[in-house]
């Protein structure tokens, strides 16, 4: 499987070397225990873009005016919202979350927070692309509960776009992730655009406080405990 993935990535580097691809995703909700065939319901005013070339990707939320006026969806948006900008480079294995907290910019190294994937034979069509289902697991220490927990996710990826990118921290598969699910929340691709370009994607990875994923988690826990004590 590893040799197959490496071969696909080498092919992709040639096919997409001059391409910039933009994918627009919506956020959606469906109760995790809902076994009906109904599609997840879109969460209004919460969508994202993933822009990538043959070696790097940038994922972020689409800013929309008037979001504060959506009182009805405010709580759901708060629960589903993915904060920060995710940057990945498949060649040097860079995996960075760029986020702001208390007026400071942080560069969070997430290279050790990869998902372990089990690729299944089940398939479905998304935007005309044949996608395969994959189950993901990842262990993470919860500082509030004081114990390890296993995170679970379901994604659908297409080998037709053989690049290891996807929304948020989903990636590392032999194809682009077009749909993801964690619990009751979904991220679903709704539009894909390709265009030729000689310009590489750029993002500032020098400005900000650099922390590991674990260091940032401890920092967030400390801030949480400070708020409780106040």
With b meaning 16 or more CB within 10 Å and e meaning fewer, what string describes 170-196?
A: bbbbbbbbbbbbbebbbbbbeebeeee
For the entire predicted model, the pTM comes to 0.87
Q: What are phi and psi of 82, to 5 degrees?
A: -100, 115
10-residue averages of pLDDT along the chain (230 residues): 52 60 96 90 93 95 66 74 93 94 93 94 97 96 86 97 96 97 96 85 93 90 80
Q: Domain 2-229 falls in which CATH fold?
A: outer membrane lipoprotein receptor (LolB), chain A (2.50.20)
Q: Which tokens belong to 86?
A: 């995710």
Q: What is the pLDDT at residue 199?
A: 77
Cα dihedral across residues 178, 190, 123, 181: positive or negative: positive
């Amino acid at each position: 499987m590893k040799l197959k993935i490496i071969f696909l990535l080498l092919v992709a580097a040639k096919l997409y070397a001059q391409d910039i691809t933009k994918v627009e995703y919506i956020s959606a909700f469906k109760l995790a225990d809902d076994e009906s065939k109904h599609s997840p319901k879109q969460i209004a005013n919460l969508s994202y873009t993933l822009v990538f070339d043959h070696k790097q990707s940038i994922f972020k939320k689409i800013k929309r005016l008037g979001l504060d006026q959506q009182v009805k969806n405010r709580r759901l948006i708060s629960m589903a919202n993915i904060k920060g900008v995710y940057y990945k480079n498949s060649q040097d294995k860079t995996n960075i979350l760029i986020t702001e907290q208390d007026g400071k910019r942080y560069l969070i190294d997430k290279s050790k927070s990869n998902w372990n994937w089990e690729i299944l034979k089940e398939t479905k069509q998304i935007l005309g692309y044949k996608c395969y289902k994959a189950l993901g697991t990842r262990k993470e220490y919860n500082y509030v509960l004081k114990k390890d927990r296993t995170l679970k996710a379901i994604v659908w990826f297409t080998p037709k776009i053989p690049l290891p990118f996807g929304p948020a921290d989903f990636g590392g598969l032999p194809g682009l992730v077009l749909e993801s699910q964690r619990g009751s929340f979904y991220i679903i691709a709704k539009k894909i655009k390709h265009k030729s370009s000689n310009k590489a994607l750029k993002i500032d990875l020098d400005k900000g406080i650099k922390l590991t994923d674990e260091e940032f988690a401890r920092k967030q826990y400390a801030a949480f405990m400070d708020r409780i004590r106040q």
